[in-house]
Structure 1
Amino acid sequence: MLGGIAKAIFGSSNDRYVKSLDKIVTQIAGFEPAMQALSDEELAAQTTRFRERLEAEETLDQLLPEAFATVREAAVRVLGMRHFDVQMIGGVVLHRGEIAEMRTGEGKTLVATLAVYLNALPGTGVHVVTVNDYLARRDADWMGQVYRFLGLTVGVIVPNLTDQQRRDAYASDITYGTNNEFGFDYLRDNMKYERGQMVQRPFAHAIVDEVDSILIDEARTPLIISGPTDDKSELYMRVNDVVKTLVAEDYEVDEKQKSIILTEDGTEKVERLLEDAGLLEGSNLYDYENTQVVHHLNQALRANVIFKRDTDYIVKDGKVIIIDEFTGRMMDGRRWSDGLHQAVEAKEGVTIEPENQTLASITFQNYFRMYPKLSGMTGTAATEAAEFYDIYKMNVVSIPTNVPVQRVDEEDEFYKNTIDKFGAIAKGIKEKADNGQPVLVGTVSIEKSELLSEFLKKEGVEHKVLNARYHEMEAHIVAQAGREGAVTIATNMAGRGTDIQLGGNLEFRINDELSEMPEGPERDAAIERIKHEIEEEKARVLAAGGLFVLGTERHESRRIDNQLRGRSGRQGDPGLSRFYLSLDDDLLRIFGPDTMFAKMMNANLADGEAIGSRWLSKAIETAQKKVEARNYDIRKQVVEYDDVMNDQRKVIYEQRADIMDAETVDDVVTDMRAETVNGLVADACPPETYPEQWNIEGLRQRIADVLHLDPELDAWIKEEAVDPEMIEQRLQELADAAVAAKAADIPADSWAQVEKSILLQSLDHHWKEHLATLDALRAVIHLRAYAQKTPINEYKQEAFAMFERMLVEIREDVTKVIAHARFLPQDEPPPLPEMPDFVTEHLSMLSGADDTVDIDAGSLGLVTTRLPTMLQAAPASETALLSEDPAEWEGRVSRNAPCPCGSGRKYKHCHGALQ
Structure 2
Amino acid sequence: MFGGLAKSIFGSSNDRYVKSLNPLVTRIAGFESTLQALSDEELAAQTPRFRERLANGEPLDDILPEAFATVREASRRVTGMRHFDVQMIGGIVLHRGEIAEMRTGEGKTLVATLACYLNALPGKGVHVVTVNDYLASRDAQQMGRIYGFLGLSTGVIVPNLTDQQRHDAYHADITYGTNNEFGFDYLRDNMKYERASMVQRPFNFAIVDEVDSILIDEARTPLIISGPTDDKSELYKLVDVVVKQLAPEDYEKDEKQKSIILTEDGTERAERMLESAGLLQGENLYDFENTQVVHHLNQALRANMMFKRDTDYIVKDGKVIIIDEFTGRMMDGRRWSEGLHQAVEAKEGVNIEPENQTMASITFQNYFRMYPKLSGMTGTAATEAPEFFDIYKMNVVSIPTNVPVLRADEDDVFYKSTEDKFRGIARTIREHAAKGQPVLVGTVSIEKSELLSEFLSQEGVPHKVLNARYHEMEAHIVAQAGRLGAVTIATNMAGRGTDIQLGGNLEFRMQDEHSDLVEGTSEYDAAAVRVREEIAAEKAKVLEAGGLFVLGTERHESRRIDNQLRGRSGRQGDPGLSRFYLCLDDELLRIFGPDTLFARMMRSNMEDGEALPPSKWMTKAIETAQKKVEARNYDIRKQVVEYDDVMNDQRKVIYEQRADIMDAETVEDMVADMRAETVNGIVGAACPPNSYPEQWDVEGMKAQLRGTLALDLPIETWLDEEAIDPEIVDERVQAAADEAVAAKAASLEPETWAQVQKSILLQHLDHHWKEHLATLDALRQVVHLRAYAQKTPINEYKQEAFSLFQRMLEAIREDVTRTIAHADFQFQPAPELPPLPDFLTTHFDPLTGEDDTRDIDAGTLGLVTTTLPPLQIVRPEEPDLGEDPANWEGRVNRNAPCPCGSGQKYKHCHGAVAAR
TM-score by length of 1: 0.84
**Unaligned 5+ runs, structure 1:** 321-334, 870-915
1:441 and 2:448 correspond: no
Residue aligned with 2:118, SS: helix
Code of the aligned partner of 1:139: D
1:531 and 2:568 correspond: no
Partner of residue 613, structure 1: 615
Partner of residue 115, structure 2: 115
Partner of residue 740, structure 1: 742
Residue aligned with 1:100, SS: strand
Q: Distance in 2 between matches of 1:392 and 1:351?
A: 46
Residue aligned with 2:258, SS: strand
1:682 to 681, 684, 687: 684
Residue aligned with 1:555, SS: coil
CA deviation map 1:299-320 (0-9, x unaligned): 8479967999889899799545
Partner of residue 475, structure 2: 475
| Post-superposition offset of 1:14 | 0.3
Q: Distance in 2 between matches of 1:597 and 1:137?
A: 48
Alpha-carbon contact 2:159-2:860 (below 8 Å) kept: no
CA deviation map 1:233-289 (0-9, x unaligned): 9989x99xx9xxx9xxx97554xxxx2246999x99xx9xxx9xxx9x99xx99968
Cα distance change, pair 850–5 in 1 and its aligned pair in 2 (3 A): farther
Q: Distance in 1 between matches of 2:10 and 2:445?
A: 44
Q: Distance in 1 between matches of 2:751 and 2:664?
A: 12
| Post-superposition offset of 1:512 | 1.2
Q: Distance in 2 between matches of 1:119 and 1:463?
A: 45
Residue aligned with 1:449, SS: helix
Cα distance change, pair 495–663 in 1 and its aligned pair in 2 (3 A): farther
Alpha-carbon contact 1:224-1:358 (below 8 Å) kept: yes
Question: Which piece of structure 1 moves more, 800-809 or 551-560?
Answer: 800-809
Partner of residue 823, structure 1: 825
Cα distance change, pair 730–630 in 1 and its aligned pair in 2 (3 A): same
Q: Distance in 1 between matches of 2:23 and 2:310?
A: 58
| Post-superposition offset of 1:866 | 3.2
CA deviation map 1:133-190 (0-9, x unaligned): 1111000000000000000011111111111111111111101111111111111111
**Unaligned 5+ runs, structure 2:** 287-292, 314-320, 872-916
Alpha-carbon contact 1:510-1:527 (below 8 Å) kept: yes
Q: Distance in 1 between matches of 2:461 and 2:233?
A: 46
Code of the aligned partner of 2:763: Q
Code of the aligned partner of 1:695: D
After superposition, where does 1:636-715 map in structure 2 within 5 Å? 636-715=638-717
Q: Distance in 1 between matches of 2:569 and 2:859?
A: 44
CA deviation map 1:100-145 (0-9, x unaligned): 0000000000000001000001111111110111111000000000
Q: Distance in 1 between matches of 2:481 and 2:342?
A: 38
CA deviation map 1:708-742 (0-9, x unaligned): 11111222223332221122111111111111111
Partner of residue 35, structure 1: 35
Q: Distance in 2 between matches of 1:796 and 1:854?
A: 32
Cα distance change, pair 299–25 in 1 and its aligned pair in 2 (3 A): farther
Q: Distance in 2 between matches of 1:338 and 1:290?
A: 12
| Post-superposition offset of 1:789 | 1.3
Alpha-carbon contact 2:89-2:399 (below 8 Å) kept: yes
Q: Distance in 1 between matches of 2:216 and 2:452?
A: 30
Partner of residue 191, structure 2: 191
Residue aligned with 1:823, SS: coil
Code of the aligned partner of 1:688: N
CA deviation map 1:288-341 (0-9, x unaligned): 684441244578479967999889899799545xxxxxxxxxxxxxx8732568
Partner of residue 846, structure 2: 845
1:722 and 2:729 correspond: no
| Post-superposition offset of 1:489 | 0.7
Partner of residue 569, structure 1: 570
Code of the aligned partner of 2:826: L
Q: Distance in 1 between matches of 2:65 and 2:751?
A: 54
| Post-superposition offset of 1:646 | 0.9
Alpha-carbon contact 2:35-2:73 (below 8 Å) kept: yes
After superposition, where does 1:267-278 map in structure 2 within 5 Å? none
Residue aligned with 2:97, SS: coil
Partner of residue 462, structure 1: 462
Partner of residue 3, structure 1: 3
| Post-superposition offset of 1:343 | 9.5
CA deviation map 1:179-204 (0-9, x unaligned): 11111111111111111111111111
Cα distance change, pair 118–472 in 1 and its aligned pair in 2 (3 A): closer
CA deviation map 1:524-558 (0-9, x unaligned): 33222221211111111111111110000000100
CA deviation map 1:333-389 (0-9, x unaligned): xx8732568899999xx9998531111111110111111100000000000000000
Cα distance change, pair 303–559 in 1 and its aligned pair in 2 (3 A): farther
Alpha-carbon contact 2:224-2:841 (below 8 Å) kept: no
Partner of residue 908, structure 2: none
CA deviation map 1:446-481 (0-9, x unaligned): 111111111111111111111145556211221111
Q: Distance in 2 between matches of 1:402 and 1:302?
A: 59
Q: Distance in 1 between matches of 2:8 and 2:310?
A: 53
Q: Distance in 2 between matches of 1:72 and 1:716?
A: 83
Partner of residue 87, structure 1: 87
Residue aligned with 2:58, SS: coil
2:794 to 787, 792, 795: 792
Cα distance change, pair 134–643 in 1 and its aligned pair in 2 (3 A): same
Partner of residue 602, structure 2: 601
Partner of residue 874, structure 2: none
Q: Distance in 1 between matches of 2:851 and 2:479?
A: 31
- Give the share of equivalent positions with the same residue, in percent: 73
Q: Distance in 1 between matches of 2:858 and 2:820?
A: 29
After superposition, where does 1:30-429 map in structure 2 within 5 Å? 30-229=30-229, 252-254=254-256, 259-261=257-259, 290-297=297-304, 300=307, 318-320=332-334, 337-339=337-339, 355-429=355-429
1:761 and 2:763 correspond: yes
Cα distance change, pair 3–654 in 1 and its aligned pair in 2 (3 A): same
Partner of residue 629, structure 2: 627
Question: Which piece of structure 1 moves more, 110-119 or 517-526?
Answer: 517-526
Q: Distance in 1 between matches of 2:503 and 2:608?
A: 38
Q: Distance in 1 between matches of 2:748 and 2:835?
A: 25
Cα distance change, pair 691–798 in 1 and its aligned pair in 2 (3 A): same
1:776 and 2:778 correspond: yes
Code of the aligned partner of 2:135: L
Cα distance change, pair 590–769 in 1 and its aligned pair in 2 (3 A): same
Q: Distance in 2 between matches of 1:19 and 1:530?
A: 40
Residue aligned with 1:500, SS: coil
Partner of residue 326, structure 1: none
- Root-mean-square deviation (CA, aligned residues, Å) is 3.7
